[in-house]
Structure 1
């Protein structure tokens, strides 16, 4: 087992809030983490994809009220969104009886319907936590190459071989497209969504050009936007917005787009092993995406992430605005073990005036690469961000 950073925050959230929503893509480890929590206290686990467990909730208020002294774990809550209304009444009744904390842990694949229902019914009663795939800080430096190639889904990362890992990811993509997404409601042709997902993988870390994607898919711009919104809501794709500081520069306004898990990028593109990855044009963007996801996951709650680019070529790959800090941290990504900084990074830093400047590279040592700029390993910068 690889310890998940979110475990401590999940225990704290249950101690402070009557309901906690643990959101994340399928197969990311939500159920495993929830069952670990269940071992620490009296708990009831219900899988709402199971017809037998759904039948237990034919009269949800009665069933759940009888278990008011236990943590009730409701897995795949988006299958029965009407439960949120019942949970609201039970939480309010429990508060009057002194049962205010740690009542319900709901797990979901972050569908739009899940978020809408819970925000309408449980405002002020629920805390949201996101469980992402495993990241660099969680796996450690020795497994960074495997994390980059296979991605952070536990069954993919820990597979017996690269071939077995790839088979798992291919099956995961097919199941998502043909089964999971249709269950969430949107009627989107699986092949069209696969083509969009694959195009995004080819352009990993590129600026979003919705018009070009629409032309390639033979659909209109609004349709592409809705498809992309769905992939973002399912935590499968990240739109990284441009920094919007008040500077006298012509800033790029389109967001960058990343498929959030590098293993899915490689599966969509048919990349089978490390040698094939190193020879592929997507290698740089794929490694950058892995690093960005790891750093955002390790950053304190409330951190905002951006990139910076001007029409003149000044660029910072990642800006992290940490809560309570006046200026952001600037991060540049260089996969080589002998990193060099381009002039555009220095020019961008003169404009943004970041508090800290980092170059994340492929080595393990930490050293000064220029005045005010440190080269650092990815897992070490994750540790810097996570430090109190």
Structure 2
């Protein structure tokens, strides 16, 4: 269960993904819910699917039973079962496949979770292709937190996400020391997931890389610079990025191309899927340091991008999300592509009094991409209420922005 402010009171916080889970188990024999460690996968499933038997392979004895006698393990698992941390027994997949194929009309028999998407998805894709649906559960969205915490403005939501994280336990338990929790989280991630599942070489170099990435959140990725800074090879940097991306620690936002060729930056931008981890890794511990420090703007941009990603993931969608940067200094922080030729431009500004000058890049974008259908532009800021700045550009609160984007998700 998730703690809500008082350690004496425990309450389940409903997740936006619940309806998606219920819908999918009616259409597929298997469902896998992946995501970063401690994002709430097990809690989501045990509360959404209370009729299912729950088994965790984190338990050494249970894991040994699954490894030593997979047939008996599945015989005693039950007709409908949640198998937590399935990546620890990947060979179970071939046995599950046989059982699924024997009863292809039985939907929702097996539900899996895993904290390491790359390892898990490879095994699932090889063994259960066409028989399984995949979902990614990220830490709490702002809307999910609002059911238990008073977050009345974009600024409050930003500060809370930065200083309390969006992971269920530290986000909701006000008594928890967040830096201590985050330190343990990073160490557990490095030791249990990275060291045990991947050959990363020097673990301290990998941790230093993670810290460097955090200091450059919301920036365009320069792998050569990271390789030079750390004294490692370019293939090593690529491998480390893949590990962090697969574990849903980071998200690489791709650039928007569309026929401008060499005039467009082609490297992705780096975002963390939880800005609380960024604050821990960069030493930001208080409100003043957060709002007045050199990372204030990048952190707010990262926060808004992460909330947009969660909006799509929680509905079982990936979303066509991009950024734009050209060699003549045209930049748009976020482009949401609704169809091949329909996009919504979004600029993200850490500012409480947005003005039309902040929309100049959106205006230039519309002129440059005149053949596209460009929806009204949005400037996502700390404004206390949404206001029109021109005929086709508005300054919006985070709450209004998320509602508007949600309407376009099909």
TM-score category (smaller protein): over 0.9
- Structure 2 unaligned segments of length 5 or more: list them: 1-11
2:398 is aligned, of 371, 378, 385, to 378
Match of 1:320 in 2: 336
Matched, 1:165 2:178: yes
Structure 1 residues 144-163: aligned runs within 5 Å: 144=157, 145-160=159-174
Change (3 A) 1:77 1:359: same
1:86 is aligned, of 90, 95, 99, to 95
Q: Once the 2 structures are TM-superposed, how far is the Cα of residue 181 of structure 1 from its aligned partner?
A: 1.4
Structure 1 residues 78-227: aligned runs within 5 Å: 78-95=87-104, 98=105, 100-140=106-146, 141-142=151-152, 144=157, 145-160=159-174, 164-227=177-240
Q: Once the 2 structures are TM-superposed, how far is the Cα of residue 344 of structure 1 from its aligned partner?
A: 2.9
SS at match of 1:328: strand
* Contact kept? 2:162, 2:279, Cα under 8 Å: no
Change (3 A) 1:155 1:188: farther
Structure 1 residues 1-388: aligned runs within 5 Å: 1-39=12-50, 41=51, 43-57=52-66, 58-65=68-75, 67=77, 69=79, 71-95=80-104, 98=105, 100-140=106-146, 141-142=151-152, 144=157, 145-160=159-174, 164-247=177-260, 250-299=263-312, 301-322=317-338, 324=339, 326-340=341-355, 341-352=358-369, 353=372, 354-387=374-407
* Contact kept? 1:61, 1:90, Cα under 8 Å: no
Separation in 1, partners of 2:351, 2:293: 15
Separation in 1, partners of 2:256, 2:340: 16
* Contact kept? 1:318, 1:330, Cα under 8 Å: yes
* Contact kept? 2:345, 2:362, Cα under 8 Å: no
Change (3 A) 1:339 1:37: same
Alpha-carbon displacement from aligned partner over 1:96-126 (angstroms, at most 9, x marks no partner): xx4x201111000134221111111100000
Separation in 1, partners of 2:242, 2:61: 33
* Contact kept? 1:65, 1:90, Cα under 8 Å: no
Q: Once the 2 structures are TM-superposed, how far is the Cα of residue 249 of structure 1 from its aligned partner?
A: 7.0
Q: Provide the TM-score with structure 2 as the length reference.
A: 0.88
Which stretch shifts more, 252-261 or 351-360?
351-360
* Contact kept? 1:235, 1:260, Cα under 8 Å: yes
Q: Once the 2 structures are TM-superposed, how far is the Cα of residue 348 of structure 1 from its aligned partner?
A: 2.1
SS at match of 1:370: coil
Q: Once the 2 structures are TM-superposed, how far is the Cα of residue 239 of structure 1 from its aligned partner?
A: 0.8
SS at match of 1:229: helix
Q: Provide the TM-score with structure 1 as the length reference.
A: 0.93
Separation in 2, partners of 1:148, 1:351: 36
Separation in 1, partners of 2:350, 2:210: 24
* Contact kept? 2:35, 2:117, Cα under 8 Å: no
Separation in 2, partners of 1:5, 1:235: 18
Change (3 A) 1:290 1:102: same
- Structure 1 unaligned segments of length 5 or more: list them: none
RMSD of aligned Cα (Å): 1.9
SS at match of 1:180: helix
Change (3 A) 1:94 1:60: farther
* Contact kept? 1:308, 1:348, Cα under 8 Å: no
